Amino acid sequence: MAKVIEIESSSSPEAEILRQAEAAGVDLHRLPRHVAIIMDGNGRWARAMKRPRIEGHRAGIKSVREIVRICRQLEIRYLTLYAFSAENWKRPSSEINALMILLCNFLKRELREMKENGIRLEAIGRLFELPDPVQRALDHARRETAAGGQMQLTLALSYGGRLEITDAVRKIATEIQAGRLLPAAIDPDLFAAYLHTAGTPDPDLLIRTSGEMRVSNFLLWQIAYSEIWVTPILWPDFRRENFFAALRDFQGRQRRFGGVDIDGAI
């Protein structure tokens, strides 16, 4: 209800985003709590523009900025972005270095806006594998934004779902070996507490840009019941109207989590 009052009474840019979302058919009262995005297509975007691949990543940051702002305004509490996969280390070192520099710059430039807007930065993945300057920039941004209570922005970096799961199994095995955990105590909730995402609800909506119909080792455990929405739009072209389309589609889905909907119950 607070959101509706705000739309009717304000001409601020924030209220304008809410108005645009409503005009696009988004129900502001039925938004996902957690959206996760596989940001794909930066390289293809650059190729289409006859520019180096890194220009695609650079352009992709504009989309990141836009979607973070929209989520904050819509009060979507969790946004998780697949920014660098464990498999991305196979790319040429020039591209990896350029991506790491972009990431550091992003963390430094966006810090003030994140703090002002109550956005807490988090990161998941094998963060110890990242270059030292990136680790330092991440630590700094996480510390500085720790009090942000409006939204959590999680960057998946050097992240792989299978690695996350096997890391969790190793930690659990260590606990059992040390006599601190009984095998009988292992259930899905306990297991989830050993994942990098412990404490974060599972994504309600998974978006993938650039048209590929696969999950690419992203949040394998956590997306068990996520609604998946794939668009052919390349990530650097992904803007609010595309995000609104994803939300609209999500709101049209029936989520039964393996059960039956009330009307269909016998």
Residue 122 engages ligand FPP in binding (rule: CB under 6 A)? no
| Binding track over 140-159 against ligand FPP, x by CB under 6 A | ---------------x----
- The 220-249 site mask, x for binding ligand FPP (CB under 6 A), equals ---------------x--------------
Per CB under 6 A, 106 contacts ligand FPP: yes
- CB closer to ligand FPP, 77 vs 208: 208
Q: Which residue is nearest to ligand FPP (CB)?
A: 43
Task: Tell me which H or E stretch contains 237.
Answer: none
- 125 lines the binding site for ligand FPP (CB under 6 A): no
**How many angstroms separate the CA atoms of 137 and 140, rounded?**
5
Which residue from 31, 39, 71, 124 is in contact with ligand FPP, where contact means CB under 6 A? 39
**List 21, 36, 57, 74, residue binding ligand FPP (CB under 6 A):** 57
Tokens, residue 261: 């909907």
In the complex, least distance from residue 25 CB atom to ligand FPP, rounded to whole angstroms: 27
Backbone conformation region of residue 75, classed left if phi is above 0, alpha if psi is from -120 to 50, else beta: left
Selected range binding ligand FPP among 80-88, 112-120, 219-227, 251-259, rule: CB under 6 A: 80-88
| Region binding ligand FPP by CB under 6 A among candidate stretches 42-50, 70-78, 173-181, 251-259 | 42-50
Strands of 78-85's sheet in order across:
119-124, 151-159, 78-85, 34-38, 205-208, 227-230
Rounded to an integer, what distance in angstroms lies between the CA atom of residue 111 and that of residue 238?
22
Evaluate whether 32 touches 205 at the Cβ level (below 8 Å): yes
Min dist CB 104 to ligand FPP, Å, is: 9
- State the Rg of the chain over Cα: 19
Task: Return the number of the residue (17 or 37) whose C-beta is nearest ligand FPP.
Answer: 37
| Alpha-carbon span 63 to 238, nearest angstrom | 6
Which residue has 């523009």 as its token pair? 49
Residue 217 annotated to the active site: no
Residue 40 among the catalytic residues: yes
Cβ atoms of 251 and 27 within 8 Å: the answer is: yes
Q: Closest Cα partner for 129 from 160, 167, 158?
A: 158
Residue 205 contacts residue 255 (beta carbons within 8 Å): no
Judged by CB under 6 A, the number of residues near ligand FPP is 19
| Binding-site member from 31, 64, 114, 121 for ligand FPP (CB under 6 A) | 64
- Interface ranges with ligand FPP (CB under 6 A): 39-44, 57, 60-61, 64, 81, 83, 88, 102-103, 106, 155, 210, 235
Catalytic positions: 40, 88
